[in-house]
């Protein structure tokens, strides 16, 4: 019986509900086979939503959005947000918005929060969705002063 269950788990795919190159790199470096199918969800914070709850909700919604298409596989949803002074920074709208965000972060402590959700069917031992929050305070410093340039030549990150 246990061997049959193990074979059933091995026949399932891991589907990454993200187009993030960094998440793909992490899975590849860990030697984990996976397929990519980015979930298309609304990523705006809900009114009054706290940063940790926001990251966890996005990870869960990404996984749930693909679970309908891949009901017999493992679905991995994840989302990382940056928070400074309780403000959640979303994806920059354009180059000017990206420069604004870099100036806001430069030389200041901020938080990077990642929510993770793994979903599968009740036939596996990982039946319940879960979320995990990782908070990493960090400081960003950009010594070149060329935050508006297209190519940033020197960036230093200090993870505490």
Q: What is the mean pLDDT of the chain?
A: 75
Full residue range of the structural domain in which residue 42 is found: 2-145
CATH of residue 48: 3.90.950.10
- Residue labelled with tokens 């091995």: 10
DSSP E strands in 27-159: the ranges are: 35-36, 74-84, 87-89, 109-119, 131-141, 156-159
Strand partners, 138: 110, 159
pLDDT, residue 122, reads 61
Residue 96 pLDDT exceeds 50: yes
Residues with catalytic roles: 79
Number of Cβ within a 10 Å radius of residue 50: 14
Q: Please report whether residue 150 resides in a domain.
A: no
């Amino acid at each position: 019986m246990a061997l049959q269950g193990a074979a059933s788990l091995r026949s399932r795919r891991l589907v990454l509900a993200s187009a993030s190159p960094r998440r793909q790199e992490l899975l590849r470096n860990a030697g984990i086979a996976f397929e990519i199918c980015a979930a298309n969800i609304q990523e705006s914070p809900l009114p009054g939503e706290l940063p940790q709850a926001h990251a966890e909700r996005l990870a869960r919604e990404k996984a749930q959005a693909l679970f309908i298409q891949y009901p017999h596989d493992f679905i991995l949803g994840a989302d990382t947000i940056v928070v400074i002074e309780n403000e959640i920074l979303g994806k920059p709208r354009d180059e000017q918005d990206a420069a604004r965000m870099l100036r806001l972060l430069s030389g200041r402590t901020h938080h990077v929060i990642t929510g993770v959700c793994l979903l599968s069917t009740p036939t596996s031992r990982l039946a319940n969705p879960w979320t995990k929050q990782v908070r990493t305070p960090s400081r960003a410093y950009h010594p070149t002063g060329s935050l508006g340039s297209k190519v940033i030549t020197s960036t230093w990150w200090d993870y505490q």
